[in-house]
Structure formats: structure tokens, C-alpha cells
Structure 1
């Protein structure tokens, strides 16, 4: 999963900074009563009784009696039953216990005729009509829409075990917090709130071309490890967390794809029951209950209410149980209420699609192991002031999330207006206000402040020290055969230092080579909206051939681990670069660079300066390269949020990311070679329906120039025990070098498709994974002639770079088990081609078991 750093800080801190209080339980509100027929006085069994505006309710029993328990009441209850007029009855929302009897009047409701085929589930006909009428009812049919959104987010700790209560940190929190600081949820669990936020935004959507924009107008937030209201408003405001469209075939949640109960494949995933008809607002609806055919599948349990006239989804309540093959999730529920929109813009006004007006999400998360903490997140979204089919110009949508300059400014009058006009009954209540005070008390505890800092370092890699962040910690220490013990200290400035300037730097020292290394960078940000910046970089450090940060795609952990152990292919690199980057159109990022770099190998290597002279050619080891390059990166559906002066990607929702770069080497700038180089890269994650998810990385490179091997394309091998995607895991470092190549890495995750159906194994939540890695490459004779096999002074044999046969690809395949203990992956890798000894006589080992660890839901 791609990280959102600050949100991950919050989640990790939730697992570090916790306590549950030995406290008096909060009183639960109770409403009881009897529902009878107004004409006969007979009890009405199985009538629906619900709190208006909240998702709390009950059914009457055979004697017509009901009991509702809730931590918060609304101002009335609604009672409905088939054949009766829905009745609303006011209640006293301040009374802890009350009895309310209701008499229902008979009503003549005419429903559309439902034709049931012999032997067919009667719910099937309704579901077929839902899909048939999707063209009319799905919000995607709208040319454009916009609305005001109110979002309330609450995060609390829950499910505290006795073992966790004995933790020293928990004891300190217990001692510091008042014994009256306790909140009990409707399930009887004690909650320790760690975040409460409210946000107001205006959301814009346009269909063709598909564009979205969100202007975050106001946010107020209080929480543990949350200081930046601007970032928080982007993460917790608007539609980032709750915007599921159940008309889609699959609903993406926590990086997984859940089958929709009203998608095209509803019959393959679910069992259905047509329960009753009931009134939802102004609509008479069929109630359809559903549950997965197999509890381990990524599917929902719940109810959907379908309008009997338009066959539109009017309301849906879904939950994901503990049986689903999903990590760290104890429970997850999604509720939506939808209303038809009226097209008042086009000449043919009328219903123009249904939009969700209220969405609620509740997630109970847990860590690894039975004694781990629980985390509860509740998100409520209410929309109003909807305008449809009035698109703005395409350029209007260029900035996907735009916080207001006064987003965090206090304004009590503004929030009172929001509570009255937009938030309604979902605005901050007594429990929320109590939670705010508890968070204030919690953050004042010294132990909590310390844990906040530790959590920040563990998740982001940096420790915030005022205007400067120190780190990243993965690069702090390394031990290898060239440097001995390598120690590195780095920093970067944040937006408290400057909203435009960012400075980065580090210093490293090796105890064996006794050399200092360093890197410095200065960037100036001209525009956030079009992400335009210029910068300069200077570094002098030890690198490994084929494993520069550029070549491995910014994989910070793999790059850090590559500095351990035997450091083959090491060279000293002095690099200077000046770059300019801009995004003139959202999703198209252009970068221009001019720079120089040195290659001074400390492994046995030299090459021919005049290859046409053969063995008589003078030899040389070092290279001085000067160049300029231009790069275009296309990611049209990529979403970003701003974290100070950093831009964090939220991913592309499985759209491809394409990159193309042209590099020109020039002797006129002082370098040793004139050359041309073209590289391309495409990567994407694809949903393959019930078969799981596939991701690929396709790369290619070509240079027609005659160059030493280090300036060509050293292919990224990985002989370490660590499994790393996008490398060749059975290839040695720099075993092969090409001047033209095409490489593809394909990884497929079957999720629980196969293992969910194997008794015994399915309880382990293991997941089958497979991969194929292939490389087609070659090296021209002119480039091969540059290489020499002459011994170096002293008789040392030089390193030889292998070349691939253009007619024979290098191929690896792998298969394995993921999600062992929820974090470990073990995979078998087979090398299928080029099985002879490597170019330097290193024996080829065609098979290996490798492991990796990752956090995945």
C-alpha cells in the first residue's frame, strides 16, 4: 500500500499510546414500547422501529413489543410495517428511560408487480431490474454535480486486554487520567478517544473528461499526534474515506476489492432473501437481505432497500465480518442513504440520478495477536445543496483538494451555522465534547508526548524538531565490506522554516575507508497548484553499480539494506544536478535536468578507450559523464495531498503510470562521451474480477551509442535473501548489462481465492501469490569490444559484465504464500534460463526461497 505519512503516524501512535480507564460506565438511553393496530388494537409483530436520523433501531417481537438502546437519542422514532402508514412519534432525547407506545393506521400501498419464475428466488427479479435501471439511477450518468459536505471523524482506542492494562505506559496514562474519563459505546466497550474532527468542504465532479475537485473550507481537529489541520483536512475531510458507489461491480476498501451485492456478479457471490417492503423517507422500498455464499470471501453482509418504482438503491447497510480474508479488521460497516437529484439545469428537468446524502462508516481494527489493542474509527458524511449537470471548465478541476487559507482559523459562529444548516443531528454531541476534553488531558501526559515522537520516527523515518526534521532513520547505520561501520545523519527543513524553500542534507562516515560522504539539496517551490519547483543537488558518496535510488524507483528500505554485507560493484560518485519540474496539466509532470557525475570504481574494472585498437588500446577505469535530460510522467488519475512542502500521492486507482525520459550526454559540457539514451516505464495495478489483483512493471531502454558498461543499462539483480518486487531475484548484481532491453515484472495476488476453499487452511487467512519476471536484452558488438579482459596492474582479474542473447530471454518464475502471521511472505523463485556459470565464474543457483515482510489489510 502507498502510505499517507501523517495518517499512518496516527494509526501507529494509536497502538503505542493507549490506555483504557477503570471508570464508571456511561448510562445507556433506553426506549421501550408497544406497537398495535390502530383499528383492532392487536399487536403488530416484526414492525421496524428506528431512531430518526440515526442507524439505531429494533423489530417488534411476536407481542408487538420493542426495546431500543443507544448512547445518543434523536428527537423521534419512526415505526413502519407492511400494510401500515409509517408513524413518527416524538421522544424526549434527554430522558434515560422512557416508554412510547405507537398505533399504526392501515395504508393501501400499491407496489409494482413482481413476476416470480418457478423455482426462482423472488429477490432475483428485483436485482435484475436494479442492474437494468442502473443507466438511469447511477450517479455516473450525471454530466456534473457539486454539493456541500460535512464530515465528522472520531478515532478511539478500544478492546483493551488485561495484559495491556499492565503495560507500564498504560499504567502512567491510567494514573494521569481522571477516573471519570470514560466513554462506553453502544456495544458496551470502553473507548479512549484520540481524535475528533469536523470538516466542511465543497465537492465538484465532472464526468467528461472525468475530473474531481474538493475545496476544504473549514476544519477543526483535536487529536493525539495530530498538529497539522491543513493536512488533516485533506485526509479526514470530504470524500477521501467515504465515497463508495455500490453500483460498481467491486468496492475498493483498505486496498481490497469487495464484490458489490448489486453489481453485475451479484449471483456468484451472495445469497439473497426478499424480506418485506417498507417506507424509507418518501419511498416505498423492497428490503433485500444478503450474505456471502462463503464467509471467507471479500463480500458483505447486510440489507439493501430498493425503490419499488424506479428500482434505484435508496438505502444500504453493509458489514464485513471477521470471517473475511482481511487483516486487522474486527468489524467494518458502511451505511448509505441516497436521494434522487433533480435536474434543474437542462431543458428536460426531472430525476437525474441518485446521490448519497448521508454516509456512515465504522471500522474496528486490531493489531497482530489476541492481546493487541483495538482501534475504532467512525466517519459520518452529510451532503446538501446539490447542483447537478452544471459542469465547470476542465481547468477548474486541476487542483484535486484545495484547503482554504483560513481552514484552521477558529470561528465559533461558523460552526454554529454548520450545525444548524448542514450537520444537523450528526454534529458534535455531548459524548463528542467529552471526548475532546479527554484528548486534551491525554496529550498533557509526558509519557504520551514521548510516545508521539517515537511513533513519528518509526512511521515517517524523521523526527520533527521545530523547523527541521531529522532522518531518515533507515539510513542511520550500515555495515559493509568497504566502509565498515557506516553512520549517517541527515535532515530536511519543513514548511515552518519556509513555505517555498526546502533544504536537505546528510553526512556519512565509514570506519573502514575513513572517508566522509555527504549530500545536499536546495529546492524552491514556485507553485503548489501546478507543482512547479527548481532545485540543485550535490553529493559525494559510495554507490553500487545498478543500485542507485533512481534505478530502484525510490525503494528506501531495499536501498538501505543494499548497503549491508559484501559491497560488490562499489564506486565513488560525485554528482551535481540542476533541475526544474512542473505540472502544466494535472497528471502530466515534466522534469528537465542538467548535471554531471563521476564513476570511480573500487572494484577491479577497466575498459578500452580506443576499442578499434583491440588489446593495444589504452585502458581507463574512471568515467566523467555530463548530460542533460527531459522526462515526462503521465499519471492522469493520480491523487495528491499537500504535507507542508511535500506532495504525497494517494495512488492512481489502478490507472497506468507512464514515464519516458531522454538523456543526452555531451563532451561539450566536459564529459568523456557524446551519447543518446531513451528509457520508458509503465506500471499499473489491475483488478481481475474474482481471480484477484495483478500488478506489472514494464520497462525498456535503448542507446545507439558506444559506451562503457557502467553507462549502459546494468540490470538489477538481487542475490540477497530479501524478496523484492521489480528486481530479478535470482540474478547477481550487475550480472548482465545491455544497451537495449525490454523487461517485465508481473505479480499476481489471488487474495483468498484458492486458500479460502481449503478446509483447515482457510482459517489461517493465507493468500497465494505468483510472479513472472522476464528480460529481453542484448549488447552491440561495438559495446562488447570496449570491454577488456587484460589483468589489472598486479595481475588481478577484472570484473566481466555479461551480455544477453537477444533471441533468448532471461526468465524467472515464483510462487508462494503471503499473509503468514499477517505480515510474512515466503516465496519460491526458479531461474529458468541462463543456468551456466555467470560471467565472473559465480555458480548459478537456479532455486531459492526468499522472504519479505509487509503491512497489508
Structure 2
């Protein structure tokens, strides 16, 4: 159950929708209430299966609760508890490095002596709990726990604190204390939205001698019985282990009675009339028209939201329209149509692109996209520099890093999961490419040591030679994405993949250029990418990404089709981690049409080191280490090493990072600082 208190009407100017009828006159009340009854199978060390027999969501008789035993099963016998970061258990093997203990009393449960032990963190800002554990004398097993940790320890800024309570009962046949119940209480607050929640689990009907076979466990970890969400009140009243509170009972009654009203056309239209009100700033910023009862909306993106500057177009702005139609209540099947325009003032050219995407279902995620139009495209289509950062670098530092060409194209894309663990992506299209030149040398601050470079990455001081000769080519690309041992959740109308931390994700891609208008521009490239991240107990999170590829018949291909690497010359980072970027490499200096190898590793210690330093541990910073390598056939290897501090910020807003990066190439070394503004990445800027 989730509750809010004195909720604001808007957050960041956006009206909070979906809480109508949930809150009282003070804008307080229950915003989410659900229950689940499950049958759980478990076999050490990792085999797990949950079959949900019944699921109930207040106010939605078609809904499926996302309460699951898998997400809420915490064993304090383990050395660490995984809660966004690893929190050290008070009964871990190395617990004495993190806790002091004090006997706070004893009592008997039957003929068993129970010790009440106070748990005291050695360093309060470490990844630890505080509270009380109850230990059975001589058996040294848990009788109960009451432990608290904080959002700061979890590094989840909007969580104030998390309180665990577990009770155990003695099973005489196993001579062991088994878990009877668990309650998790939490408080949260962010941007004026404050509240609390509770997650209660009751365990019964243990079978300690199950008969398992090869079919007992699979990669499907959670599934729902047929009509699990259609159980009546008689069923729930007979099996519910914990009685509903008066507030929860009233919430069911109120929301269930309002359910039909909220689905009715008059009610939905009344909500839409409020949100569809037009504002004087809408033509500049944007506007959304909703027709919820007919399951569609139309969104307009105004020119004021996309203003940027580059030396090719000058000041440029974008206008966009999006039509979105969904066919099911849970939006598992939908249609999206986009029309976008871009106009460059200095270039005096208007470009249009459009696309239509149809998602057919959410079981195998089948979707097809048809797109086309004309656009300015960076030579590296991964777009290593964003329009915002390029605008600032260009106007204030006279560093016009964005280099691009004109692309006229038609393309069709396909995506589908063929079976669990194998997803395919394919696209084929026609492209007409032509060179562009600088059209604007405007700047705000004159850097006397620099001047604008040309739009030719191969000849930055040549302002007359074309970066590419105009040509046409057909391109195809097919990617197989493999996730070994991929775990997933089966819901009647969709499948949710949750990956598998033990194995990496592997992408294998074959790209072809054919039917080119210029001789020598046809080619093939085969490449692979391996990515994985996993936790290392309470010592942090480890990330790595490896890429390798080779070209065939590509000696004379267009520079556009080279393999380009994500560089960074701005000293600004925007990603949560740097496993897909080189932070001091120029954007196109290492581009290649030969074989290449690229590798990135990063380890976020999550307070394991800085949390032990007096004074520093009060700041809740994370030490981050990184290493990066690039090897191409034509050049000597390039490497970077970095050390940085993450989780910088103020209060709940921890979206900053700073790294010192040291590069090494051909015997020359270079060092610089990179400032991570992660909020830009979250905002798509």
C-alpha cells in the first residue's frame, strides 16, 4: 500500500493525473493498494518459481498486482541485502567490521531463550542497518528482526527510511526457525510529494520435502494463473492472512464503486477538458490534446523547446507532431505517427522527417517502423554531441564540434523477440547523402586561440572541399541480441524481461551497403558487442562493454560508413556511466574502415571506500574507477584511465559527477577533468 499526504496538484508544471477519487480534501490518501496470493517453489542456490494464484488491485478489476515474493524475499542470513546497493547484514560473516552489538534483554519463547541484541553501526553513514535482532540461544538462529536503513545508505534520494520487520516460528520437524512474516515500511518524499508505504508478506504451508524435476524451474520466474485477477470477495475473505485496516477496506469500496465511472466516456471527457485547456504559451512550447475515451492523443512540440545553434544551419528550431493511438487498456498494442520539421536560419533550409510505428503486442514485442524524409545527420549516427552541448561549446568557446551531412532517406525497421533470450532488429533503406558547409560564424565570446573549423572531419581547415561526394546507397542491417539465461515475468497480456546478472548481453550485427551509385562504396561490416553489469557484494557495481568488428571490401567506402567511436571534447558527460564513450578522444580522429577493438570497464564502489573515511563518509559520495581501450588496424592503441567521484549534489538531488581522466596515445599523455551532468541525459538533452 502507498499513501501520500498533502500532495501537490502539479510537479514541474505538470498536473498529477490518475489520483482522482483517491485523495481527500487535503489531497491525502491511498494511491495504490494491491494484494497477491502466490505459490512459491525454491531450490538452493538460485532456482526460484512463483505462481500467482490471485491478484487484486484496488479500483482496477482488470489489473495485475506487481507484488511478488521474488522482489520481496530478503534473507538476513546472506552477507548482504540487495536494495539498489548492497547493505551489510548484521549477521554477515564480516559483520563485526561494520557493527557493534549490545545485549538489550532476554525472554523465553516456550522453552527457547531469546536474546534481544541492539545493532549499532560503527559508521552511521555506511551501507548498514540499525535496530534490533532477536537471536535464539544455542541455536544461533533468527527469531525476529527490527532493522532500519536510510535512503542515503540505499542511494535512493526519494526514500527517507526503510524499516524491516521479520518474525520466525520454530519448525520442530526441521529443527529450524522459518520465516512467518515480513513487513517493510518506508517513507518517501520528492518535489513536494510526500508519503509512506507498507509491504507485508505472510508465509505458510511450508513443504520441506518437495519433489522437483527438470520442469519445475525455468527462466520464467513469475506467472499468473488463468483469471487470477477475477477472484471475488468471498475468496479473499477466506484466505487473506492479515485483515484489512478500515482505511484499506474503505479504499477498496470507494475505488471499486468508482471504477465504472472512471471508465465512462463522460468522466474521461471531463478530465480531458481540464488538461486540454489552451495556454498562450502553447504555440511556442507545446500542447497535447487528449481523447482518452477513444484511446488517442495528439501532441505538438513547439519551436521554443528545440532551439539550438550550429555552424551549418545557424540558429535552428524544430516543430513536431505526434499522434498516438492505443488499442488496449494497458497499452500493450499501439500506433505512433510522427511528423517533424527543422529549419536553419543561416542555411535557410526547411527539412521534414516522418515515421509510423506499429506495436503489435507485448508478448514478443513485435513492432514495425516506416520512416523517411530529409535531415542533418552527424557522421557518427550515435550523435556523440547533443545539440545543447554543441550550442554552448560553439557560441561560448568557439568550438564547433558537430559535423554532419544531409541525408535523404526511406527506411523500414523491424523488431521482434523470436524466443526468450533472442531478440532481432532489422532495417533496410535507401539513402542519398550530400555534403554541407558552414553557413554561420556567429559566436558570443571570441576565443583568440581558436577559430571555427570546417564541416569536413577529414580536413578541419579546408572550407572549400566537400566532406563527401553526393551519392546514393542502399543499406541493410540485422542484429541478433542474445541474453543467456534471461529471466522473465509472464503476465496474460505481456512478457517482461528482467535479464540475468550472471551472464552478459551479446549483440551480433551484420551491416551491408549495396547498390551504391559510386564504385567502391559497397561494403559489409560484421561487429559484436558484449555488455554486462553486476554487483560485487557490498563493494559496489561493476560494468564492462566490449566491441569488436571488421570490414569486408571496404577500402574505398564513404567516410560516412566508417566505424566511428563516441568521443568527447567538451569535458561534459551526460550518462550514468562511461562505458560507451572515450572522454578525451576527438570525435573522428580514430574512425576506421578496418578491423577494430574497443573496451570499457567501470567500477562504482558505492561508498565502500569513501564511506570508511571520517568526515568524508558524511557526504555520501561514491568513488568511481574506469579504464578504456581503443585499438584500430591503422593506429597504435589508445587508452584512458579515470578516477572520479559520483553521487554529487545537494540533498535529494544527486545527479552530478566529476572525473579526472588520463589518456595515453603513442607515448603522449594528456589529463583533464570531465564534469558529469547526469540530469541532462535524463532529460534527453
Fold shared, TM-score > 0.5 on shorter chain: yes
Q: How does 1:507-586 map to 2 (within 5 A)?
A: 507-512=339-344, 513-525=349-361, 528=363, 531=364, 533=366, 535-542=368-375, 544-545=377-378, 547-548=380-381, 567-572=402-407, 574-579=409-414, 581-584=416-419, 586=420
RMSD, aligned CA: 4.8
Name the CA distance, whole Å, in 2 between partners of 1:534 and 1:500: 11
Instruction: Tell me which residue corresponds to 2:183.
Output: 360
CA 1:596–1:175: 2 relative to 1, 3 Å: closer
Task: List per-residue Cα deviations over 1:381-437 (Å, max 9, x = no partner).
Answer: 112233343325448634333344534436222222223xxx2xx231213224557
Name the CA distance, whole Å, in 1 between partners of 2:589 and 2:298: 37
Q: How does 1:745-760 map to 2 (within 5 A)?
A: 745-758=600-613, 760=615
Q: Contact conserved, 1:540 with 1:573, CA < 8 A, in 2? A: yes
CA 1:835–1:517: 2 relative to 1, 3 Å: farther
Name the CA distance, whole Å, in 2 between partners of 1:500 and 1:373: 29
Q: Contact conserved, 2:50 with 2:69, CA < 8 A, in 1? A: no
Task: List per-residue Cα deviations over 1:202-255 (Å, max 9, x = no partner).
Answer: 333344773434435321324xxxx6953x512xx22254211212211111x1
Instruction: Tell me which residue corresponds to 2:200.
Output: 380
Name the CA distance, whole Å, in 1 between partners of 2:24 and 2:509: 64
Name the CA distance, whole Å, in 2 between partners of 1:542 and 1:831: 36
CA 1:522–1:641: 2 relative to 1, 3 Å: same
Any unmatched runs of 5+ in structure 1?
Answer: 1-153, 183-190, 343-349, 455-460, 553-557, 609-618, 780-804, 838-843
Structure 2 length normalisation: TM-score? 0.74
Cα deviation for residue 629 of structure 1 reads 2.5
Instruction: Tell me which residue corresponds to 1:29.
Output: none
Instruction: Tell me which residue corresponds to 2:583.
Output: 729
1:769 to 624, 627, 630: 624
Name the CA distance, whole Å, in 1 between partners of 2:110 and 2:553: 72
Q: Contact conserved, 1:193 with 1:438, CA < 8 A, in 2? A: no
CA 1:761–1:207: 2 relative to 1, 3 Å: closer
Instruction: Tell me which residue corresponds to 1:598.
Output: 431
2:244 to 422, 428, 440: 428
Report SS of the residue matched to 1:737. Answer: coil
Task: List per-residue Cα deviations over 1:334-382 (Å, max 9, x = no partner).
Answer: 112234679xxxxxxx5297653311000112236xxx44321111011
Q: How does 1:487-506 map to 2 (within 5 A)?
A: 487-496=319-328, 501-506=333-338
CA 1:432–1:580: 2 relative to 1, 3 Å: closer
Instruction: Tell me which residue corresponds to 2:40.
Output: 203
Report SS of the residue matched to 1:351. Answer: coil
Instruction: Tell me which residue corresponds to 2:596.
Output: 741
Cα deviation for residue 333 of structure 1 reads 0.5
Cα deviation for residue 492 of structure 1 reads 4.0
Report SS of the residue matched to 2:247. Answer: helix
Task: List per-residue Cα deviations over 1:286-323 (Å, max 9, x = no partner).
Answer: 43331211111111112223334543333222111577
Q: How does 1:17-56 map to 2 (within 5 A)?
A: none
Residue 262 (str. 1) matches residue 98 (str. 2):
no
Report SS of the residue matched to 2:97. Answer: helix
Cα deviation for residue 812 of structure 1 reads 5.0
Name the CA distance, whole Å, in 1 between partners of 2:248 and 2:665: 65
Instruction: Tell me which residue corresponds to 1:233.
Output: 65
Report SS of the residue matched to 1:507. Answer: strand
Report the structure, 1 or 2, having the larger strand content.
Answer: 2
Task: List per-residue Cα deviations over 1:520-554 (Å, max 9, x = no partner).
Answer: 223433x82xx2636354333536346546x88xx
Name the CA distance, whole Å, in 2 between partners of 1:666 and 1:318: 60
Report SS of the residue matched to 1:295. Answer: coil
2:542 to 691, 694, 704: 694
Name the CA distance, whole Å, in 2 between partners of 1:753 and 1:462: 46
Instruction: Tell me which residue corresponds to 2:483.
Output: 634
Any unmatched runs of 5+ in structure 2?
Answer: 277-286, 393-399, 438-454, 459-467
Task: List per-residue Cα deviations over 1:605-643 (Å, max 9, x = no partner).
Answer: 9999xxxxxxxxxx8443513335341321525545769
Instruction: Tell me which residue corresponds to 2:222.
Output: 401
Name the CA distance, whole Å, in 2 between partners of 1:353 and 1:705: 68
Instruction: Tell me which residue corresponds to 1:219.
Output: 56
Q: How does 1:172-211 map to 2 (within 5 A)?
A: 192-207=29-44, 210-211=47-48
Cα deviation for residue 272 of structure 1 reads 1.7
Q: Contact conserved, 2:80 with 2:87, CA < 8 A, in 1? A: yes
CA 1:682–1:516: 2 relative to 1, 3 Å: same
Q: Contact conserved, 2:427 with 2:478, CA < 8 A, in 1? A: yes
1:713 to 553, 558, 563: 563
Cα deviation for residue 644 of structure 1 reads 6.2
Name the CA distance, whole Å, in 1 between partners of 2:88 and 2:389: 40
Instruction: Tell me which residue corresponds to 1:156.
Output: 3
CA 1:508–1:580: 2 relative to 1, 3 Å: closer
Instruction: Tell me which residue corresponds to 1:830.
Output: 661
Task: List per-residue Cα deviations over 1:700-748 (Å, max 9, x = no partner).
Answer: 2222432433223100123343433322233333332133222223333
Task: List per-residue Cα deviations over 1:57-110 (Å, max 9, x = no partner).
Answer: xxxxxxxxxxxxxxxxxxxxxxxxxxxxxxxxxxxxxxxxxxxxxxxxxxxxxx
Q: Rg larger in 1 or in 2?
A: 1
Name the CA distance, whole Å, in 2 between partners of 1:688 and 1:845: 31
Residue 659 (str. 1) matches residue 506 (str. 2):
yes
Instruction: Tell me which residue corresponds to 1:622.
Output: 471
CA 1:341–1:580: 2 relative to 1, 3 Å: farther
CA 1:663–1:174: 2 relative to 1, 3 Å: closer
Report SS of the residue matched to 2:235. Answer: helix
CA 1:217–1:817: 2 relative to 1, 3 Å: closer
